[in-house]
């Protein structure tokens, strides 16, 4: 599922990469005269670098016209490309394979980088260089390992110095889907890392070729130019080497080469083989490297101090690339801990930010949505119980849904019974109740009965009074209701995340003695919530950097989508304010005259303690019951008196937004 703009870009990128790779592979095997190992080098690098790999192939290696490959690839910058391609093809393959394995195993990022470096170096040296090049280099396998070690070490160091910070910062950045091999973003980061590694390794490879420590591009023809006789390349065949100091090309025109070949025995031609050479030799390069197992011998003019200095600089670059990210990000985290999490814009993450904080702040994965509510759906609907042996039984199911808070604005929510707020549970004082809670969330949960006097085992705090309800499990809460008034229920496991995403609902308890009830002509419950919706994703709102809300709802809707209360002039309205999920104190105000505060936190105030006000500060978890009488006809606003809380993403719509609703008195 594509959930971010970068996902669409990556689909296009990898489609282009696939097409580029197919073209390079087809052209290499059909038209380009070079050894198989270099063909695969360009194919792999194009697979990793997409159209940039194709560009390098066309500009530096693709034979423009038959017979011109030697002359075309002669420039040093192109030889450097060939040398880097060979390095990157082997090293990047080892790194990427290791990254997949380490992510699957759940290794921390710092260990991940070390394993990737060792795997990349080993794959490049022991397989791509020494094994795949053995028939061309001549000599034994271990001789080739020895010859290739130092150039491969230098080149790999620079490459990993480029890849490591790219992988670290992007995988541990805002969108940590990049840590999961099952995500497109993981492969996008790998591709960008290979590009960075290639860029940093290229200058060193140019110098290594110039100093004859490495070869670059090669030309291998199984059929000489101008001849109709084909000679297959096989062990023991002759290899022509040119006399140029670094390029190894003949410098002859195609007709001249054809004439020269006509006078010489037919032989398979490979010029400028891309493999490492001993750094300690001092003899001049011969125009013929030898035959068969003797391989190619090339003498370097680099001095020991030069080689040592370059090696030291490569180690320093590698050390910086591997360790510098630890100054800004938590390198102790693994894909198993935070892989797939997307952090909110503006959240400050540093090297001390724990995995649990990242998980709690992360966006809801839209792919987890199991139900899309109708935009007209209302939350807080009364749930009727069934009676079992005199016990009122309610069934609650927590799941991930898509909930509309405004026309065109939907949030990914954690919801009870597919609505936000969850269904209203209405019982009477003295009732025996059982609430079966089934967890369909991707994480554990519990339910707490806010303000109620219940047995400790039924109170709900995770790990304190009960084990959390794991995904797929059901837990039954059972108790006798001893109080009456306005209460509510909410999650008590990862509370800052789950409650902020919608796991709460009203619990209304009628008094056993009807005379104790505070009656009115109409009744309405106002449950307050704050939301954070950014860049198409829903995050739990929290009072911290990057977590502040930008949408506000009454009973799951933002004005102008909130309900309108219709009543007659002279009628009495009872409003139950519930601070169900808030990070702020909301001064709730009603136009058109004052109201009387008659109950606080479920407890009815005695007549002498009741008071008149037009604003009541509803804090997190608080409840206020107020009575308001419609004195005059008209549309009277009920709203929070913090102006920002009456906007939708900082915008007013039809005169307001957020925590606003209308009382229409006629």
> Count of CB atoms within 10 A of residue 424's CB?
20
State pLDDT tens for residues 496-553.
999 999 999 999 999 999 999 999 999 999 999 999 999 999 999 999 889 999 999 9
Mean of pLDDT values over 277-305: 50
Residue 212 has pLDDT above 60, yes or no: yes
Give the span between the Cα atoms of 548 and 539, in whole angstroms: 10
Task: Specify the 3-state DSSP secondary structure of 188.
Answer: helix
CB 121 within 8 A of CB 104: no
Residue 336 has pLDDT above 60, yes or no: yes
Query: Do β-strands 504-510 and 485-490 pair in parallel, antiparallel, or remain unpaired?
Result: antiparallel
Top pLDDT among 286 and 546 is at 546
Q: Which tokens go with 619?
A: 């804090």
3-state secondary structure 287-340: CEEEEHHHCCCCCCCCCHHHHHHHHHHHHHHHHHHHHHHHHCCCCCCEHHHHCC
Residue 294 has pLDDT above 50, yes or no: no
What's the chain's length in residues? Answer: 666
Mean of pLDDT values over 399-415: 97
Least confident piece of the model among 11-25, 39-53, 275-289: 275-289
Domains of the chain: 16-225+249-283+297-327 (no CATH), 368-516 (2.60.40.420), 537-665 (2.60.40.420)
Least confident piece of the model among 216-230, 440-454, 482-496: 216-230
Q: What is the mean pLDDT of the chain?
A: 88
Of 217, 544, 206, give the one whose Cα is nearest residue 358.
544
CB 365 within 8 A of CB 402: no
CB 331 within 8 A of CB 349: no
Residue 45 has pLDDT above 90, yes or no: yes
State pLDDT tens for residues 124-161.
888 877 676 656 656 677 877 888 899 999 999 999 99
- 231 pLDDT band, cuts 50/70/90, is very low
CA–chain centroid gap for 339, Å, is 7
Whose structure tokens read 């194919």? 43
Which residues have CB under 8 Å from 263's CB, separation 6+?
none
pLDDT for res 71: 94
Percent of the chain with pLDDT over 70: 87
- Output the furthest CA–CA distance in the chain (Å, rounded): 121
CA distances, 52 to each of 59, 223, 443, 474 (Å): 10, 31, 42, 54
Q: How many degrees, rounded to 5, is the angle at CA 2 between CA 14 and CA 366?
A: 155
Give the span between the Cα atoms of 205 and 85, in whole angstroms: 10
State pLDDT tens for residues 464-478.
999 999 999 999 999
CA–chain centroid gap for 357, Å, is 16
By CB neighbour count within 10 A (0-12 exposed, 13-18 middle, 19+ buried), where does 125 fall?
Answer: buried
């Amino acid at each position: 599922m594509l959930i971010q703009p970068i996902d669409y870009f990556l689909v296009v990128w990898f489609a282009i990469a696939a097409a580029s790779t197919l073209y390079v592979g087809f052209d290499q095997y059909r038209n380009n005269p070079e050894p198989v190992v270099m063909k695969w080098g360009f194919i792999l690098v194009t697979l990793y670098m997409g159209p940039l790999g194709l560009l390098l192939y066309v500009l530096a290696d693709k034979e423009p016209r038959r017979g011109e490959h030697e002359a075309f690839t002669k420039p040093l910058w192109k030889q450097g490309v060939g040398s880097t391609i060979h390095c990157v093809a082997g090293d990047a393959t080892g790194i990427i394979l290791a990254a997949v394995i380490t992510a699957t195993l759940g290794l921390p990022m710092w260990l991940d980088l070390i394993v990737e470096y060792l795997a990349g170096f080993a794959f490049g040296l022991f397989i791509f260089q020494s094994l795949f090049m053995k028939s061309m280099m001549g000599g034994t396998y271990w001789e080739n390992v020895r010859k290739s070690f130092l150039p491969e070490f230098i080149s790999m160091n620079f490459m990993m110095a480029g890849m490591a910070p790219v992988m670290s910062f992007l995988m541990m950045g805002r969108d940590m889907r990049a840590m999961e091999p099952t995500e497109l973003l993981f492969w996008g980061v790998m591709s960008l890392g290979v590009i960075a590694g290639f860029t940093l390794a290229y200058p060193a490879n140019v110098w290594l070729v110039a100093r004859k420590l490495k070869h670059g591009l090669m030309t291998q023809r199984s059929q000489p130019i101008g001849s109709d006789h084909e000679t297959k390349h096989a062990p023991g065949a002759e290899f022509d080497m040119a006399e140029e100091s670094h390029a190894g090309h003949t410098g002859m025109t195609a007709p001249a080469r054809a004439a020269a070949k006509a006078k010489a025995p037919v032989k398979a031609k490979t010029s400028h083989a891309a493999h490492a050479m001993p750094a300690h030799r001092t003899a001049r390069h011969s125009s013929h490297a030898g035959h068969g197992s003797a391989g190619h011998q090339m003498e370097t003019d680099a001095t020991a101090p030069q080689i040592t200095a370059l090696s030291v600089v490569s180690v320093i670059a590698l050390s910086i690339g591997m360790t510098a990210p630890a100054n800004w990000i938590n390198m102790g985290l693994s894909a198993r801990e935070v892989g797939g999490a997307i952090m909110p814009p503006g959240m400050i993450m540093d090297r001390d930010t724990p995995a649990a904080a990242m998980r709690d702040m992360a966006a809801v994965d839209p792919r987890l949505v199991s139900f899309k509510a109708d935009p007209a759906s209302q939350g807080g609907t009364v749930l009727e119980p069934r009676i079992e042996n005199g016990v009122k039984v309610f069934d609650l199911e927590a799941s991930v849904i898509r909930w509309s808070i405004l026309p065109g604005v939907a949030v990914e929510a954690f919801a009870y019974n597919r609505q936000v707020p969850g269904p209203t549970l209405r019982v009477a004082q003295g009732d025996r109740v059982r609430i079966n809670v089934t967890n369909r969330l991707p994480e554990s949960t519990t339910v707490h009965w806010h303000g109620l006097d219940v047995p400790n085992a039924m109170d709900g705090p995770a790990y304190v009074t009960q084990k959390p309800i794991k995904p797929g499990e059901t837990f039954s809460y059972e108790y006798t209701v001893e109080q009456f008034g306005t209460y509510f229920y909410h999650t008590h496991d990862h509370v800052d995340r789950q409650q902020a995403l919608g796991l709460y609902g009203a619990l209304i308890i009628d008094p056993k003695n009807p005379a104790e009830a505070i009656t009115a002509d109409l009744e309405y419950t106002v449950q307050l919530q704050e939301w954070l919706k950014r860049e198409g994703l829903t995050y739990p709102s929290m009072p911290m950097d990057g977590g502040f809300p930008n949408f506000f709802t009454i009973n799951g809707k933002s004005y102008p989508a909130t309900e309108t209360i219709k009543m007659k002039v002279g009628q009495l309205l009872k409003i139950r304010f519930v601070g169900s999920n808030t990070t702020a104190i909301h001064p709730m105000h009603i136009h058109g005259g004052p109201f009387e505060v008659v109950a606080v936190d479920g407890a009815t105030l005695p007549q002498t303690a009741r008071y008149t006000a037009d604003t009541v500060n509803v804090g997190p978890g608080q409840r206020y019951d107020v009575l308001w009488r419609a004195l005059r006809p008209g549309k009277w606003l009920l709203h929070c008196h913090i102006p920002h809380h009456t906007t939708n993403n900082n915008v007013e719509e039809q005169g307001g937004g957020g925590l606003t609703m209308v009382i229409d008195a006629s």
